[in-house]
Amino acid sequence: MSKIKPSKGAPYARILGVGGYRPTRVVPNEVILEKIDSSDEWIRSRSGISTRHWASPEETVAAMSVEASGKAIADAGIGPEQIGAVVVSTVSHFHQTPAIATEIADRIGAGKPAAFDISAGCAGFGYGLTLAKGMIVEGSAEYVLVIGVERLSDLTDLEDRATAFLFGDGAGAVVVGPSDEPHIGPTVWGSEGDKSETIKQTVPWNDFRVGDVSQLPVNERGEIKFPAITQEGQAVFRWAVFEMAKVAQQALDAAGITADDLDVFIPHQANLRIIDSMVKTLKLPEHVTVARDVETTGNTSAASIPLAMERLLATGKAKSGDTALVIGFGAGLVYAATVVTLP
């Protein structure tokens, strides 16, 4: 018989507060068109995007995260010293180590919480939320700060007609805490590594070691290009619309509800065509509010779901207590979907 005491966590977990930060610079499609042969109409018809936010040098991954986290902590009604763990999802923190979560934890005054980064692309928020729920129910933390943050402008090839218009910067954060009732449903998550080539970084960092750089990509001026995110648009579109609609339905089933029970749908803000196609495939009723933050924020990867959630609540399009289906999907290919009660 084991001599180890059982964990004493909360019965359930829920999102208690949400916060977001968008960089001050708003970038319209006209700026993107300076580097690619396209049109505003084409960009809008392909993606739904009219503007996005790009960070200044001062708006670092850490700085944006601190701003979003402060709002989420205040919204949750707790003090930063009560945070027991900080989980950051990002692909655009360029230091291999230490994790940016440790710096953020210190800057918000959280004391000495567990702090670590995860790399799950556009599904990262869902992964972090699931980890937070587990920590609270297991008893290793009472309150967990989950952050999705990206500076994708640093990883955008502005000369790539297929992707130059897609990406934006920003940070979204939630505080997850204890609950006496279930407010975060079971997570349906997974990966399809056989499709990992469809969204990827153009070249690995170690190709920039001192030595032969003749194989590195160059721009039209002959300058070596910094690594960027590239994707096979049609393959990603088909996968997201058809396969992720199935995952979203599985999340509804796992939570024991139907589409009619939903108040809000918050998918990863990848592309408006994908979002609208998923709504149609899922046969969501007209009363369900659908997040379409991508139109003015662009694709912010791990930050997109909490940013969209924060905007829906701030604008009154969604309200506290609403039942929301959230689903993230992206590079890997990875995905995560769950049903939550909005804070």
Q: Residue 129 in contact with residue 325, Cβ under 8 Å? A: no
Query: Which residue from 339, 301, 314 is spatially nearest to 88, judged by alpha carbons?
Result: 301
pLDDT at 220: 67
**Distance (Å, whole) CA 61 – CA 295:** 22
- Please indicate whether residue 271 is annotated as part of the active site: no
- Please indicate whether residue 287 is annotated as part of the active site: no
Angle at 310 between CA 306 and CA 316, to 5 degrees: 145
> What three-state secondary structure class fits 266?
strand
pLDDT at 258: 97
* Average pLDDT per block of 10 residues along the chain, 343 residues long: 86 98 98 95 96 98 98 98 98 94 98 97 97 97 98 95 96 98 98 92 77 65 79 90 95 98 98 96 97 98 98 98 97 96 98
pLDDT at 203: 81
pLDDT at 284: 97
Q: Which of 29, 183, 268, 271 is catalytic?
A: 268
Q: Residue 120 in contact with residue 127, Cβ under 8 Å? A: yes
Q: How would you class 295 by CB atoms within 10 Å of its CB: exposed for 0-12, middle for 13-18, buried for 19 or more?
A: middle
- Please indicate whether residue 299 is annotated as part of the active site: yes
HSE-CB of 25 using CA atoms within 13 angstroms: 12
Q: What is the pTM of this model?
A: 0.95
**Distance (Å, whole) CA 331 – CA 92:** 13
Cα separations (Å) of 166 from 116, 205, 208, 244, 270?
Answer: 28, 22, 26, 20, 8
Residue 141 tokens read as 């933390």
Q: Which of 29, 53, 122, 271 is catalytic?
A: 122
